């Protein structure tokens, strides 16, 4: 198989704070250790010493792209199988920009994994987190996602919707969205 024939998958997580994205990514990587997670919260913690510090988005985005390029190289070398991009990705415009950048970087298969759950449940789950996001911000992101939900028209290969009753009740059945 030539370098151009090697699939380079990206799972782009989409969901409001408290929807379970990071937990799902952690569980997915435990079940699929040849995947690497690139998480904006982890980058904030690395750059600013605290994931709650929003910081300079351009600086964070540059680190996302750096980690994507490193992961793509590792995929081509046979060390990795794919990448999970863990961020809220709540705004369609921002998703489209990230998708276009991911394609330019070399990802050949992009799946949007949408954590679609009721706002009340996300707010409840947010209360149990060590770093809580204000409920009004979660509500705003929820409205953005409901008004412009993830779709194939954004330039992706597939959209996987994880509903509350599928993921939170049966997490082992959601471990690998590509198989």
Instruction: Show me where the domains of the chain are located.
Output: 3-174
Largest Cα span, the chain: 50
Phi, psi (5° rounding) for residue 150?
Answer: -55, 140
48 to each of 57, 122, 142, 151, 167, how far by Cα in Å? 12, 26, 27, 33, 32
Q: Which of 121, 131, 95 lies closest to 22, judged by CA? A: 131
Helices (H) and strands (E) in the chain — how many of each? 7, 5
Q: Which residues of 54-82 are buried (b: 16+ CB within 10 A; e: fewer)?
A: eeeeeebbebbeebbeebbeebeeeebbb
For the chain, report the end-to-end CA distance as a whole number of angstroms: 21
User: What's the confidence (pLDDT) of residue 50?
Assistant: 74
Q: Do 86 and 37 contact (CB within 8 A), yes or no?
A: yes
The architecture in CATH of the region 3-174 reads: 3-Layer(aba) Sandwich (3.40)
pLDDT tens digits for the chain (179 residues)? Answer: 555 667 899 999 999 988 889 999 999 999 999 999 999 989 988 988 877 778 888 999 999 999 999 999 999 999 999 999 999 999 999 999 999 999 999 999 999 999 998 888 888 887 877 778 888 888 998 999 999 999 999 999 999 998 864 443 333 333 444 44
User: What's the confidence (pLDDT) of residue 163?
Assistant: 82
Q: Which residues does 172 contact at the CB level (< 8 Å), separation at least 6? A: none
Q: Could you give the CA distance from residue 87 to residue 115 in angstroms, rounded to a whole number?
A: 11
Q: Could you give the CA distance from residue 167 to residue 63 in angstroms, rounded to a whole number?
A: 30
How much is the pTM?
0.85
Other Cβ atoms closer than 10 A to 152:
10
Q: Which residues of 116-140 are buried (b: 16+ CB within 10 A; e: fewer)?
A: bbebeebbebbeeeeeebeeeebee
């Amino acid at each position: 198989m030539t370098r151009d024939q090697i699939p380079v998958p990206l799972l782009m997580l989409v969901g409001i704070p408290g929807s379970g994205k990071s937990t799902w990514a952690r569980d997915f990587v435990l079940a699929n250790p040849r995947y690497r997670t690139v998480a904006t919260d982890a980058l904030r913690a690395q750059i600013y010493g605290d994931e709650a510090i929003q910081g300079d988005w351009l600086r964070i985005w540059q680190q996302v792209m750096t980690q994507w390029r490193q992961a793509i190289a590792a995929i081509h070398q046979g060390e990795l199988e794919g990448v999970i991009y863990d961020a809220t990705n709540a705004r369609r415009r921002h998703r489209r920009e990230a998708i276009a950048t991911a394609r330019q970087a070399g990802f050949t298969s992009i799946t949007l994994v949408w954590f679609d759950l009721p706002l009340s449940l996300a707010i409840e789950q947010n209360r149990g987190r060590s770093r809580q996001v204000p409920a009004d911000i979660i509500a705003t992101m929820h409205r953005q996602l409901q008004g412009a939900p993830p779709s194939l028209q954004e330039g992706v290969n597939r959209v996987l919707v994880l509903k509350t009753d599928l993921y939170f009740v049966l997490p082992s059945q959601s471990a690998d969205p590509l198989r």
